[in-house]
Structure 1
Amino acid sequence: MPLPPTVLVVTAPDDLGADLVIRQIQDHGVAVHRIDPADLARPGVLRMTGVSDGEPLRFTIEDDHRCTLSQSIVSVFWWHPGPPVGWEQQESRTILEEYLYGLDGVLWVNHPLRAVQARPGPRQLKLASSLGLRTPPALFTNDPNRAAEFARKQGGKVVCKTLVAHPNRFIQARLVTAEEIRASADHVRQALCYLQRPVDKTHDIRLTVIGDRMFPCKVTANGAFDWRVVPEGELGFEAVAAGRPLTHKVQQLMNALGLEYAALDFAVDRGGTWWFLEANPAGQFGFIQAATGMVISRAIADHLTQAAMAPRTFTPDGGHRASSRPGPGRRKTAGA
């Protein structure tokens, strides 16, 4: 008989966002199997066996609580699994990913390869601008003279921000002057710098998107330029509305990036214009849900389990296979 549809959750053992979504999936009555890829290199903790023989890829993932056959997986929630440590974890992770990438008719939130291609940066800014989202002028350079000149043209100050997290410390976005750039010329020459014209903002917006559902949240930070450095208890969070023209452009951006989930950041100026800053394919949502009561984890669970509820046909090997018609919430761009 057909296997029960299963949502595979690939995450770290202590991720609270994954905990929230898993509880909602279980409330849907759909099987869920949570794994930490690092456990594949811990003897006996997580066991995987796969076959590659010219037929569709088949594998089992088993621990002391559950055994999942690849044919039963209808969606994958790939949510902040820790980086591999050592050769054994790297080798095991690579094989796991290759098997998962070979799954047919599976919904990803988000597919890791799509997420890498969609990460914040110049391509994302260009695409957002081409779709009609307002983006502040930006410069990427390791030439201190060009950086200082850009700052001068933007009124003397620019935002200096990073795209990659530092391994040892948090680097906040901050305002720098043309004079500061010239004084730090040696540092500018050491790496490409991301500079952007500052928005004279009244507040920020964190817009969480899953499928075609959007959760806009106003963030106030008592005048701080980068709200991420303000203690959470001193921030203000408020569920707000987003206009239909903007949400339409955001949906176009999500489709173009091939994402099912993203956390988008906007700065709102004194005239009420939303300026797009970036879309993070793996941005956290738990603190927004806790502060506002917006049901983001339920929406993610809904999206993941829609694949399980979509029309599926019985196959001779005893598993499920998606029908050729894309089901609700299943974008053709969601796979690799």
Structure 2
Amino acid sequence: MTLPPTVLVVAAPSDLSADLVVRHLSEHANVHRVDPNDLVKPGVLRMTGHADDKPLRFELADEHRTTLSSAIVSVWWWHPDPPDGWAQAESRAVLEGLLYGLEGVLWVNHPSRAAAARSGPTQLNRAANLGFRIPDTIYTNDPREAVNFALDHGGEAVCKTLLGHSERFVPARVVTVEEIEAERESIRKAMHYFQQPVQKVYDVRLTVVGDRLFPCKVSSRGGDLDWRAVPEEELSFEPISISLPLAQKVRKLMGLLGLEYGALDFAVDAAGTWWYLETNPSGQFGFVESTTGMVISRAIADHLVQSAMANRVFTPDGGHKASSGPRKPRKAL
């Protein structure tokens, strides 16, 4: 029996962005969407894996379909809900371990690569080495260094976080020397992330899918520092062009970070300089697609199918294996 090439989608059941991509995927490939937390619900999602002297293999089954590991050509790991309790955490660990054992499979993005790429200092260092414009940045738990940094930049600094807060969204904000002085004890208790303020005129959210770039200009009525904290009705989104040299640097950065997908944020000043701020390996794209019409969800679906199958051969038993040849290089713009 021939095994159909299958794209495995790991996502929360109520994720609208996942719905968009799955809809496009279903037009061209066999799709199996799973919620890892269903593994602890009797009979909802069944998984059996084998580890012996043969290659690692497993089977996933629910009321809709059964998927053998040898049929999986790509995995889209997209915001699955975090495990709640030991049983879900243990089940998630087994699922991840079996999936990580797959060879020749395209991940968008592989969780371990996404976790490594999320590091702010790593991103800024690699971006700087590629020639991106980077705002002056320090990481410190020394209030004297924080004060001196703000003084070097006109008495103000942007205070940011590297990790999302478990209970609330923490936007970036401008702090003054006086505010830093008043929070000396708090600064001593944790590392803080300060950055040079950029006198921006607008922001850019650049969504990258494989070789394809989707730059979106983001403007707020009040020129807010962190547009993510602004109500959507007070923002405007529109497609914008990106220069060839910058596009080439973006693709190189994605390669260095090991990412197939990323949402990059830039602040653009009055001179037209794009200041690189960060790359989110799992940044949302639905709001960009819905407001601009850019077909990001279709690009993700195409990448999961076309790029995954580009270097695969079909085996006599109906399985699909990666070819021994190298992956095709990323295309130039």
TM-score range, shorter chain: over 0.9
Name the counterpart of 1:144.
Answer: 143
Amino acid at match of 1:188: I
Q: How far does residue 120 in structure 1 lie from its aligned partner after superposition? A: 4.0
TM-score w.r.t. length of structure 1: 0.95
Any idea what SS the aligned residue of 2:216 has? strand
SS in 2 for 1:182: helix
Give the residue type in structure 2 aligned to 1:117. A
Aligned equivalents of 2:229, 2:62: Cα separation in 1: 39
Q: Aligned residue for 2:301?
A: 301
1:320 aligns with 2:320: yes
CA contact (8 A) 1:310 1:322 kept: no
**Structure 1 stretches of 5 or more lacking a match?**
332-336
Question: AA paired with 2:36?
Answer: P
Structure 2 counterparts to residues 136-175 of structure 1, below 5 A:
136-175=135-174
Contact 2:75 2:105 in 1 (8 A): yes
State whether structure 2 residue 53 is matched by structure 1 residue 54.
yes
State the alpha-carbon separation in 2 of the partners of residues 140 and 165 from structure 1.
17
**Partner secondary structure for residue 44 of structure 1:** coil
Moved more, 143-152 or 288-297: 143-152
Deviation at 1:2, TM superposition (A): 2.4
Q: Assess if the C-alpha contact under 8 Å between 2:150 and 2:176 holds in 1.
A: yes
What's 2:235 paired with?
235
Distance 1:328 1:207 in 2: 23
8 Å contact kept, 1:306–1:328: no
Q: Is the 8 A contact 2:211 2:330 kept in 1?
A: no
- Within the alignment, does 1:22 sit opposite 2:22 as a pair? yes
Contact 2:10 2:78 in 1 (8 A): yes
Specify the code of the residue in structure 2 equivalent to 1:283: G
- Aligned ranges for residues 265-276 of structure 1 at < 5 Å? 265-276=265-276
Range with bigger deviation, 265-274 or 143-152: 143-152
**Gap change, CA 1:226 and 1:311, over 3 Å in 2:** closer
Residue in 2 aligned with 1:249?
Answer: 249
Answering whether residue 9 of structure 2 is matched by residue 9 of structure 1, we say yes
Q: Contact 1:120–1:278 (CA<8 Å) still a contact in 2? A: no
Aligned pair count reads 330
**SS in structure 2 at match of 1:172:** coil
In the other structure, the counterpart of 2:264 is 264
Question: RMSD of the alignment, in Å?
Answer: 1.5
Query: Partner of 1:205: helix, strand, or coil?
Result: strand
Amino acid at match of 1:263: A
Structure 2 residue ranges without an equivalent (≥5): none
Q: What SS does the aligned partner of 1:27 have?
A: coil
Deviation at 1:309, TM superposition (A): 3.8
Which residue identity is paired with 1:301?
Answer: A
**TM-score normalised by length of structure 2:** 0.96
Contact 1:218/1:240 (8 A) holds in 2: yes
Deviation at 1:193, TM superposition (A): 0.6
- In the aligned structure 1, how far is the partner of 2:106 from the partner of 2:41? 28
**Shift, 1:312, TM fit:** 3.4
1:208 alignment partner, SS class = strand
Quote how far apart the aligned CAs of 1:325 are.
Answer: 2.4
Does structure 1 retain, via aligned residues, the 8 Å contact 2:7–2:76? yes
SS at match of 2:123: helix
SS in structure 1 at match of 2:157: strand
